[in-house]
Amino acid sequence: MYKLILVAVLLTAMVLAQTPVRQCPNGAPLPATVKINDCTVSPCDLVNNAPILAHGWNIVSPVDTVSLTAYISVHLLGLEIPFPIPEELVNACENGVASGTCPVSVGQSFNYTLDHPGMEMPVVGVTVQIQVGLTAANGAAVTCVAFDGRILA
């Protein structure tokens, strides 16, 4: 009985520790678990020019691909705000995906970490919609998470 209660408490804690995300408009699959900057409520507070650390666990690839390209997209009132991803982070096979993951086969599960150094945002004090994702060599969406982020000064 006590073991059952302990398991229930641990599972609840794990679920509560996840970042509240939703599927991106492109329909890309979500990772099984997502954690972004220790955010557990929406909107996530993101400090302007501070690092963004995003983890996605158990991403199941819908396609075969020899490479994975990372991207970040930021939107405010339907308009995209420039938020270029540093060149060294674009190749997700070299920076972010567990060692030896690429090439990726359809149905293969892998983990991904985006360790973005942060950048100056042109807006502060507002909530924006952020999408973080990976695309295959042929441009197909492999995974994407969307979440609301409040940009703080």
Q: Kindly report the pTM of this predicted structure.
A: 0.83
Reply yes or no on whether the pLDDT at 8 is more than 60.
no
Q: 111 lies in which domain range?
A: 2-152
- Structural domain count, the chain: 1
| Residue 98, C-beta contacts closer than 8 angstroms, at least 6 positions apart | 110, 111, 112
pLDDT in tens, 29-84: 999 999 999 999 999 999 988 999 999 999 999 999 999 999 999 999 989 987 88
Q: How far is it, in rounded angstroms, from Cα 149 to Cα 76?
A: 10
Q: Kindly report the CATH number assigned to the domain that includes residue 20.
A: 2.60.40.770
pLDDT in tens, 73-124: 999 998 998 788 899 999 999 888 876 789 999 999 999 999 999 888 777 8
- pLDDT tens digits, one per residue of 112-139: 999 999 888 777 899 999 999 999 999 9
| pLDDT score, position 82 | 77
Residue 110 C-alpha from the chain's centroid: 13
Residue 9 phi, psi dihedral angles, 5° rounding: -65, -45
Distance CA 39, CA 148 (A): 11
Contacts of residue 94, defined as CB under 8 A and 6 or more positions apart, other chains included, come to: none
Q: What is the pLDDT of residue 17?
A: 57
